[in-house]
Chains A and B, each alone.
Chain A
């Protein structure tokens, strides 16, 4: 186990969106988190990288234990330097080229020498098929290309775990396909990934574990094959039938 959270709760203005979530992730695991809109899955992911502060919860990461509510800035920074995050809307730095988007965190946050950062960035962009676009600005790239650069930015620092928050939801199917292909490649290379997604094919064919969330709870979690072939909960079956159609 590389990361686990337990008892994560979060409310926005009195409305509970997470009601005590437990989740544990092994090294090299690929976990898909499924669920209808508003089920709290994005909030869970954001709490796990401290983009939202959970109201309570305990995190164990790489052997250390953290209180997710009262975590300090320094602790957040330590954890974030070992994780990567991919957003639904890419959130590339608009004033930086594709290459600079990848080098920025390495040079500024990690104090890596520029030449080394550029080497790593070029290799990472090549991996996601974007090397030829290194000098382009985000506004000159398609959505799928932007998301691939964003993935390169997230993985360039060789993180121990990468979070994906609905990485293909803002893309039309063709562009989503190129992003999913990159994610599948990373999964096959053994990268630890937690993916909030609506892409059922990805969940079914790439992830090892699947978590189904609804109404702020985890309804069912298990290994992907049995999750899809023989879901235990009635509500999971209904959801899967809906998605099949």
Chain B
């Protein structure tokens, strides 16, 4: 099976797959996840603060996004929105969808983290004269993020692999690059295993970062 020709294809294709991985898959993951975190923290705070109308909106957002497939969301934004005159390039379209999608899941993670922080600290903060937002930013949220950290790490690992779905909206990330080589060489088994291994390496790095991060979180316990 591993003839000289096949080894040649695998070796040739390695950089052709890895480079879109480094220049598209990773930036897509990092930018989308960063935006997702901003959305998630905002939505979690809104739900936690129990402001009626905002909370209903936040709930609706989480409900819709978690209840529909990521692939459908990608298609709606990239192929659907042009119908009403909204044209978005493939990469930004993917970033928007991944950020909104991941934001909904991470919002729930962070909200659960906030609810796990002993609430007496809020009262203690009030009694030393701190405002709600000061207590939130300096006391409750750091602890909530710490509680949520392993789950959030799980989310970014999961998202790294989900970016392969962006191939469906013509983003030339790692998986699409592989598909193109397969179409030319007709070696699907080995090439798809090859790209799988590269995803595995990326995720292994993230797992290591997670362990390192958990150690760096400081020695306090909640």
Q: Which residues of A contact B (CB under 8 A)?
A: 49, 51, 77, 80-81, 83-85, 87, 89, 91-96, 104-105, 108-110, 137-139, 150, 153-154, 157
Contacts and interface: CB of A to CB of B under 8 A. Distances in A.
A109 B128 contact: yes
> When A and B form their complex, which 7 residue pairs have the shortest distance between CB atoms, in order from nearest?
A105-B128, A109-B129, A91-B120, A139-B221, A91-B124, A85-B127, A137-B220
B220 A95 contact: yes
Given A51-B126, A94-B222, A150-B124, 19 more contacts: A49-B127, A80-B127, A83-B127, A84-B128, A85-B123, A89-B120, A91-B120, A91-B121, A94-B121, A94-B143, A94-B220, A95-B146, A95-B222, A104-B128, A105-B130, A109-B130, A109-B134, A137-B221, A139-B220
Given A95-B218, A137-B219, A87 B139 contact: no
B221 A105 contact: no
Contact of A110 (B129, B139, B218): B129
B134 A108 contact: yes
Contacts of A80: 126-129
Contacts of B146: 95
A219 B130 CA distance: 36
B67 interface: no
Contacts of A150: 124
B124 A87 contact: yes
A95 B129 contact: no
Interface residues on B, range: 20 to 34
B150 interface: no
A21 to B, nearest CB: 20
Nearest to A82: B129
Interface of B: 117-118, 120-121, 123-131, 134, 138-139, 142-143, 146, 218-222
A95 B123 contact: no
Contacts of A95: 139, 142-143, 146, 218, 220, 222
Contacts of B123: 51, 85, 87, 91
Nearest to B134: A108
22 contacts: A80-B129, A87-B123, A89-B120, A91-B118, A91-B123, A91-B124, A92-B124, A93-B121, A93-B125, A94-B118, A94-B121, A94-B220, A95-B146, A95-B218, A95-B222, A108-B130, A109-B128, A109-B129, A110-B129, A137-B219, A154-B128, A157-B128
B220 A84 contact: no
A93 to B, nearest CB: 5
Contacts of B219: 137
Contacts of B221: 94, 137, 139
Given A94-B222, A95-B142, A105 B120 contact: no
Contacts of B125: 93, 104-105
Given A87-B123, A93-B124, A104 B129 contact: no
B112 to A, nearest CB: 17
Contacts of B134: 108-109
A82 B219 CA distance: 33
A87 B121 CA distance: 10
A88 B179 CA distance: 64
Contact of B138 (A77, A84, A108, A157): A108
A163 B134 CA distance: 23
A139 B126 CA distance: 22
Nearest to B219: A137
Nearest to A51: B123
Nearest to A93: B139
Contacts of A139: 220-222
Question: Which of B118, B218, B220, B221 has the most C-beta atoms of chain A within 10 angstroms of its own C-beta?
Answer: B220
Contacts of B142: 95
Contacts of A153: 124, 128
A41 B32 CA distance: 52
B158 to A, nearest CB: 27
B175 to A, nearest CB: 40
A81 B123 CA distance: 14
A89 B218 CA distance: 23
A110 B218 CA distance: 27
A110 B128 CA distance: 9
A100 to B, nearest CB: 10
